[in-house]
Structure 1
Amino acid sequence: MSIRVSHVHGEHIAVAAADGTEILRYVYRPDPEPFESRKPYAHPVRTLSGRTVTGYRPNDHRWHKGLQMTASHLSGQNFWGGNSYVHGQGYLALPERVGSMRHDGFPEFTVEDDRFTFTEDLTWVANAGEEWAREERGITVHSVDEEAGAWALDWTIRLTNLRAAPLAFGSPTTAGRDMAGYTGLQWRGPRDFTGGSAFAPDSDAGAEKLMGTQGPWLAFTTEHDDVDGHSTLVFAHAPENLDEQRAIHESHWFVRSEPIPTVAFSWAFFEEFELPPGESFAYRYRIVVADGAWDPERVGTHLEGLPW
């Protein structure tokens, strides 16, 4: 299935399916509010039938923006946005801790009939202005399948420490809050995903029991308001992410269905890890965006048809 790509320079990149439905908008223009941690994000993301599956600035967490890379606790700074968790005091508005991710350019931008890939250079900047890390980000839209009612988004990150000291990656859980290990690539769903169903290859126990677990993929499905229909999102790890010899740190799922719908590929759920000066780490992720209420068998079969 053919796709079309448009680029408003300095603003955003949009990808549309053959029928004109915009399925992805990647925004790299800095948002106006520093407290929300200025950074690029993907929103809106839509299914091929046009159903929106990302939320933007919900009233409960204004810093949640579609699909975005985050680091909730990083050497005392907050690259997630919003309030910072402080053990014994709870969540506090500490704007002096909130960093940003600066867009520096697109070294690669390749559009094919059925595939679109770009790489982006970013710099992670601490609140006081110091450049802490260099990121090479890769985004690929592919496998747009009208018959299956699905398409795939690959998101890769390679991060290099620019400081003279180690970068310490953690989460609210590593800071003392139980089962709040959010950090890393994060999805925030729109309001009608609240109360949706989460399941994994070996469990349909729901978000609460899947919180903090591990596995190659996790899926989230909901029935929409307004229109008669369901959507399913599948969050999948590349094989090396789960290889303890290759990954810098083990990953766990951060997933909630209520009170808010969200999933994060948490790279520091229960324990901190450090990135030494000059060193790098990398992860690869895949998100499948599908119409319909998929079950574990359908998810597994579809992922098998999308080799890495």
Structure 2
Amino acid sequence: MSIRVSHVHGEHIAVEAADGTEILRYVYRPDPDPFEAPKPYAHPVRTLAGRTVTGYRPSDHRWHKGLQMTASHLSGQNFWGGNCYVHGQGYLAMPERVGSMRHDGFPVFAVEDDRLTFAEELTWVENGGAQWAREERGLTVHSVDQEAGAWALDWSIRLTNIRDAPLAFGSPTTAGREMAGYTGLQWRGPRDFTGGSAFAAEGDTGAEKLMGTQGPWLAFTTEHDDVDGHSTIVFAHAPENLDQKTAIHESHWFVRAEPIPTVAFSWAFFEEFELPPGESFAYRYRVVVADGAWDRERVGTYLEGLPW
């Protein structure tokens, strides 16, 4: 199925399906509020039927913006946005700890009939202005399939420490808050995903039971308000992410359906890890956006037919 791509220079990239439905908008213009940890994000993200599956600046967490790369605890800085968790004191407004991710350019931008691939260069900047890391980000929109009612977004990161000291990656859980290991690539769902159903490749279902677990993929499905229909969003790891020989640190799912709908590919849920000066790490992820209430079998079959 063909796609149409538009680029408003300095602002965003938009992808439309053949019928004109905008299925992805990737926004990289500078975000005006430093407390929200300015960084590029994907919103709105929509199914082929036009149903929105991302939330933007919800009243409970204004710094949640669609699908975005984050780092909640990084060597004393907050690249997640908003309040900072401090053990024994809870969440505090500490704007002096909130960093940002600066868009530097698109060295690769390629559009085919049914595929968009672009690479983005970014710099992670701590609150005082020091440049801490260089990121090479890759996004690919592909497998736009009207018959299947689904399309896929691949999102990769390669991060290099450009400080003269190690970068220590953690989460609120590593700082002392139980089962709050959020960090890494994060999705915030719209309000009608609240109370939705989460399930994984095997084992228990439900966000509470899946919190802090591991696995190759996790899916989240809901029935929408306003329209009669369901949507499913699937979060999948590339195989090397789960390989202890290739991944810098093991990943766990951070997932909630209540009080807010969110999923993160947490790379530092229970334990911190360090990235030495000059060293890099990389992860690859896949997000599938589908119409309908998919079950475990359908998700598994679809992912098997979409090799890396």
- TM-score tier by shorter-chain length is over 0.9
- Structure 2 Cα separation of the partners of residues 279 and 63 of structure 1: 29
Shift of 1:204: 4.4
How has the CA–CA distance of structure 1 residues 102 and 251 changed in structure 2, closer, same or farther, with 3 Å as cutoff? same
For 2:239, give the aligned amino acid. P
Indicate the residue corresponding to 1:174 in structure 2: 174
Show the 5 A alignment for 1:160-199. 160-199=160-199
Indicate the residue corresponding to 2:58 in structure 1: 58
SS of match in other structure, 2:283: strand
- Structure 2 Cα separation of the partners of residues 65 and 306 of structure 1: 27
- Residue by residue, what CA displacement relative to the aligned partner does 1:223-244 show, whole Å, maximum 9, x if unpaired? 0000000000000000000000
Indicate the residue corresponding to 2:305 in structure 1: 305
For 1:50, give the aligned amino acid. G
- Structure 1 Cα separation of the partners of residues 213 and 22 of structure 2: 33
Choose 1-10 or 198-207, whichever is displaced more. Answer: 198-207
Show the 5 A alignment for 1:1-308. 1-308=1-308
Structural RMSD (CA)? 0.4
Gaps of at least 5 residues in structure 2 are: none
SS of match in other structure, 1:174: coil
1:133–1:163: 8 Å Cα contact kept in structure 2?
A: yes
1:36–1:62: 8 Å Cα contact kept in structure 2?
A: yes
For 2:113, give the aligned amino acid. D
- Residue by residue, what CA displacement relative to the aligned partner does 1:159-204 show, whole Å, maximum 9, x if unpaired? 0000000000000000000000000000000000000000001134
1:198–1:204: 8 Å Cα contact kept in structure 2?
A: no
For 2:297, give the aligned amino acid. E
For 1:171, give the aligned amino acid. S
Shift of 1:35: 0.1
- Structure 1 Cα separation of the partners of residues 230 and 141 of structure 2: 22
- Structure 1 Cα separation of the partners of residues 86 and 6 of structure 2: 42
- Structure 1 Cα separation of the partners of residues 37 and 201 of structure 2: 34
- Structure 2 Cα separation of the partners of residues 201 and 247 of structure 1: 20
- Structure 2 Cα separation of the partners of residues 289 and 265 of structure 1: 16
Shift of 1:31: 1.3
SS of match in other structure, 1:299: helix
- Structure 2 Cα separation of the partners of residues 22 and 203 of structure 1: 35
- Residue by residue, what CA displacement relative to the aligned partner does 1:260-288 show, whole Å, maximum 9, x if unpaired? 00000000000000000000000000000
- Residue by residue, what CA displacement relative to the aligned partner does 1:10-65 show, whole Å, maximum 9, x if unpaired? 00000000000000000000111000000000000000000000000000000000
- Structure 2 Cα separation of the partners of residues 284 and 31 of structure 1: 25
1:186–1:264: 8 Å Cα contact kept in structure 2?
A: yes
- Structure 2 Cα separation of the partners of residues 136 and 235 of structure 1: 21
- Structure 1 Cα separation of the partners of residues 206 and 213 of structure 2: 12
1:123–1:134: 8 Å Cα contact kept in structure 2?
A: yes
1:210–1:253: 8 Å Cα contact kept in structure 2?
A: yes
1:44–1:55: 8 Å Cα contact kept in structure 2?
A: yes
- Structure 1 Cα separation of the partners of residues 202 and 172 of structure 2: 27
SS of match in other structure, 1:231: strand
For 2:116, give the aligned amino acid. F
Runs of 4+ residues deviating >4 angstroms? none
What's the % identity of the aligned pairs?
Answer: 89
TM-score scaled to structure 2, two decimals? Answer: 1.00
For 1:188, give the aligned amino acid. R
Q: Aligned residue pairs: how many?
A: 308
SS of match in other structure, 1:144: strand
For 1:3, give the aligned amino acid. I
- Residue by residue, what CA displacement relative to the aligned partner does 1:95-149 show, whole Å, maximum 9, x if unpaired? 0000000000000000000000000000000000000000000000000010000
